[in-house]
Each structure stands twice: as structure tokens, then as C-alpha cells.
Amino acid sequence: MIAAPAHGSRAVANWLLFCAGMVFAMAIIGAITRLTESGLSITEWKPITGALPPLNEAQWLAEFEKYKQIPEYQILNRGMSLEDFKYIFFWEWFHRLWGRLIGLVFVVPLIWFAVKGLVTRAMLPGLIGLFVLGGLQGFIGWFMVQSGLSVRTDVSHYRLALHLSMALILYALLIQAGLGLRHPGAVHRPDRLALRRHGWVSMAMVSLTVVWGAFVAGLDAGFAYNTWPLMNGEFAPPEMWTLSPTWLNLLENTAAVQFVHRWLAIATAAVILAYAWRIGQRADLPDVAKRSALWLSLGIGGQVVLGITTLLHAVPVALGSAHQGGALVVIALLIRSIHTLRR
């Protein structure tokens, strides 16, 4: 936790929550980048000079020539026009640019708040830690892209899951820190300990579901078995178990990965709804906690419906990116709900 200063905590809190909003937008942009197959269009990592896109025809042709050297172009996109390349280049460039903007929006106000005395010595380690995590996330993004530049025609789904997981960790920490500063003086209530534990179990299940969602995205598993609740007429299709050893299917078999994500999502929704119901049954809890639980119930219900709809329509870009955004909304609502139990 980041200790609140004696004054100015609301301004610092709003800044942290704004940064969380930028991370939310980053996740949406990242989903669009993935769904439009744009992630490998920039084959170099230039944290400073890469902020500028190609500015003339010669620079565009040079970037296009670099892209032509990787397997994705040679196997999947051979013959792509320069205009088509510019389209996928834009999304990857914009994704990286937004990451740079998040860094600026974090570090510049941090310096200003520190100079003005709105950030205390006790707060600095936590805030610097958040900045370091942001930088690490940029490196992980490049680590992910590298996996698709030499042999593969796409990125490793393991590295994709790592990249998304780190984004969610950073997002959750920003929200938690912001809420803590907006509502200082929270206490640990022993009579609410079981509820808070239920909330954190819910968070763990949401996180696990998101990881398997990244596996689904990385393996393009959402483009198969576009029926619900059965998978092409089977509850558990036999091709789920074609890999050896058996446990590897849960991580690398398209059918098994989608099966796990489907039913893990339903189990997660059930656990969250049970958590919200328990809050609603407690007469001693404040109204803010009950309202927060209600919004959480609506959020998880909407996310399940959105996920099924996305699957039935074979993951169009708009629905796929909205579904990823829905996961972040659920995480934010869950963090806020748990936070209200400490007021």
C-alpha cells in the first residue's frame, strides 16, 4: 500500500486513477493490434527514435522491406501491398506510442508532485516501483514480439499471456493505490475478513481466466468451435487430448485451451456472484459496499454474455477488444468492492 500524505492526496489519487485509465485504453489498443494481426509489423525496438512513424515514401519502403524478411510475411502475407502494410504498422506503432505516453503521464506529474510536497518520502518507493513495472512491461512487450520474428508466424502465446498479465498487475496496483489515497484511514475489520478473502479468491479466478483468454488469443482458438454451450455438438470434443503428455493439452491444444477458458469463466462468474450475494445479505455493511457489489454482479454478467457473443461471431475485432476491456472492468469493480469492505 502507498501511504497517504497529509494533504493533496486526492490530486495524487486522481492522477493514479487516470494512469489506470490509460492502461485500460492500452489493453484495448493491444487487443485491436492482436486481432488485426498487426503486432509483428515493426521488427525493431527503438524506445526513443521509434516514437516517430515513417515520414516519407523511402522510409515506408525501408520498414516494409524489414517486414518482408520475417516468416509472417513470407508465409502468410506474401504479396501484401504497401497500403495494407501501413494499416497494420499503424496499430503496432500506436500501441507502442501509447505506452510511451503512459510513461510520460506517470513520471512528469510524479516529479511535480514530489517538488510540491504532495508526495511524501513514504510514498516514493511504491510510486517508483510502479514506474519500474511500467518499464518492465515495455521490455516484456518486445520480448513477446521477438518470439515471432525468426521461426514462427505469430508470437508465443506464453509470452502474450505474460504481457497481458503484467498489464493487469500494473492496472490493479494503480487502482488500488488510487482508491487507498482517496479513502485513507481504511481499517482491517475482523468481521469482514471472510468476505475479503472471498473477494481475493474471486480476483485470483479472474486472473486465471484472463491468462487462459490470452492462450485462446495466442493460439487463435477463438476462431474454432464457434457454438455454445457445446463445442461443435460435443461438451468436450475428443481432439482435446491429442498431445502428449496429457497435461500439455491444457496449455497448447486449441480445443482444450478454449474448453478451459469457457468453463473457467463460468466458474469465476459463479464465485463472484456468490461473493456479491453474501455482501447483499449483510445488514451491517455500508450502502456503498452493497452498491459496489451490485455493479460487480452486473459487470461479470455482462462480461459472460459478451464472451459468448464474441465466440458465436468468431471474434470480430470490435467484440474481441470489448471482451478484453470487459475483463479489466470486472477487475476494477472487484478491487473497488474489496476496498469498500475496509472503510
Please give the distance of CA 270 from its chain centroid, rounded to a whole number: 21
CB neighbour list of residue 198: distance below 8 Å, 6 or more residues apart: 271, 274, 275, 278
Instruction: Using DSSP, state whether 231 is helix, strand or coil.
Output: strand
User: What is the reported pLDDT for 310?
Assistant: 97
Phi then psi dihedrals of residue 231, to 5 deg? -105, 95
> How many Cα atoms sit within 13 Å of 156 on the Cβ side?
14
Query: In whole angstroms, how far apart are CA 32 and each of 25, 46, 80, 117, 169?
Result: 11, 22, 20, 40, 20
Annotated binding site for heme: 261, 323
DSSP state letter for 322: H
What's the rounded Cα separation, in Å, for the pair 235 and 260?
Answer: 12
Single out the residue of 112, 95, 107 nearest to residue 50, CA to CA. Answer: 95
What's the rounded Cα separation, in Å, for the pair 212 and 218?
Answer: 10
Q: Please provide the distance, in angstroms rounded to a whole number, between the alpha carbons at the two ends of the chain.
A: 15
| Contact in structure between 17 and 174 (CB atoms under 8 Å) | yes
Query: In whole angstroms, how far apart are CA 266 and each of 203, 303, 304, 327?
Result: 14, 10, 7, 13
- Please list the pLDDT of the chain residue by residue as tens digits (343 residues): 555 444 458 899 999 999 999 999 999 999 999 999 999 999 999 888 888 999 999 999 999 999 999 999 999 999 999 999 999 999 999 999 999 999 999 999 999 999 988 988 889 999 999 999 999 999 999 999 999 999 899 999 999 999 999 999 999 999 999 999 988 766 677 888 899 999 999 999 999 999 999 999 999 999 999 999 999 899 999 999 999 999 999 999 999 999 999 999 999 999 999 999 999 999 999 999 999 999 999 999 999 999 999 999 999 999 999 999 999 999 999 999 999 998 6
Residue for cell digits 453474501? 278
Residue for cell digits 459496499? 289
Query: In whole angstroms, how far apart are CA 122 and each of 128, 159, 179, 192?
Result: 11, 34, 17, 28
What's the rounded Cα separation, in Å, for the pair 263 and 153?
Answer: 29
| Contact in structure between 341 and 192 (CB atoms under 8 Å) | yes
| Contact in structure between 98 and 26 (CB atoms under 8 Å) | yes
User: What is the reported pLDDT for 343?
Assistant: 67
User: What is the reported pLDDT for 4?
Assistant: 47
**25: exposed, middle or buried (C-beta count within 10 Å: 0-12, 13-18, 19+)?**
middle
Whole-prediction pTM: 0.93
Query: In whole angstroms, how far apart are CA 338 and each of 155, 179, 240, 312?
Result: 35, 11, 37, 33
Beta bridge partners of 234: 231
Annotated binding site: 261, 323
Grid cell locating 68 = 518482408
